[in-house]
Structure 1
Amino acid sequence: MAEANVQPEITLATVKEHNKPNDLWVVIDNKVYNLTKFRSEHPGGEETLDDAAGRDATKDFEDVGHSSEAREMMKKYYIGDLAKRDRKVQLPVR
């Protein structure tokens, strides 16, 4: 039986390759998000996401104090977990 909803692990090196406005990935809390389509809709402006492109943006995200609605919205942009070897803090076991 195959596991449902198993997401791929994505290395930080791969995330770093997606650092342009038309190809924009970020890491938040060891999860990788493809925010390319969200860029033009971001309430904080496109430049905010451009500055975070291709890197771990957890601190930036937390410093702003995003709402629970923003956190819920992120789910549709989630594409995988950061590779274990690249994590700053290990995810809890599910």
Structure 2
Amino acid sequence: MASDKVFEFEEVAKHNVTKDCWIVIDGKVYDVTPFMDEHPGGDEVLLAVTGKDATADFEDIGHSDSAREMMEKYHIGQIDASTIPVKRTYVNPQQAPSHVDKDNDFLIKILQFLVPILILGLAFGIRQYTKSE
């Protein structure tokens, strides 16, 4: 049975065009190529979830029970979960821990003090140099 086949993520990710499109949802691999023209959201929606685990995207939309039943005819196998890349989560730079924060704060304070003095000195030097006597 085709649904017993186990695919590595790298193989599934290669199928990422309109004429050959596979997606991963809930650990299952679906070949949605025949459904591309029929998908209510358009083929762009399906193409956008290739190359990643599309489970969250699928659940966020709130698909109907009939849509879930329809998926079974496109089911071609399982994904080897150990081959799915670890999802990187965004960490706000202000929240990111850093051992150099104290060094950076000191450097910023020095620059905030020195830059205006350097600018004033430069302006004074230019004025003295260009001053007509």
TM-score (norm 1): 0.82
Q: Deviations over 1:49-94 (max 9, x none)?
A: 1111233111110000001100000000000000142369xxxxxx
The residue correspondences of 1:13-92 to structure 2 (distance < 5 A) are 13-86=10-83
Root mean square deviation of aligned Cα: 1.8
More strand by share: 1
Gaps of 5+ in 2: 86-133
1:29 alignment partner AA: D
CA 1:46–1:5: 2 relative to 1, 3 Å: closer
More helix by share: 2
Assess if the C-alpha contact under 8 Å between 1:30 and 1:87 holds in 2. Answer: no
2:16 alignment partner AA: N
Larger Rg: 2
- Larger RCO of the pair (alpha carbons < 8 Å, separation 6+): 1
CA 1:66–1:84: 2 relative to 1, 3 Å: same
Work out the percentage of aligned pairs sharing the same amino acid: 47
Assess if the C-alpha contact under 8 Å between 1:32 and 1:82 holds in 2. Answer: yes
Gaps of 5+ in 1: 89-94
SS in 2 for 1:47: helix
Q: In 2, distance between residues paired with 1:34 and 1:6?
A: 11
Q: Deviations over 1:22-71 (max 9, x none)?
A: 11000000000000010000011111111112331111100000011000
Q: In 1, distance between residues paired with 2:73 and 2:28?
A: 12
TM-score (norm 2): 0.59
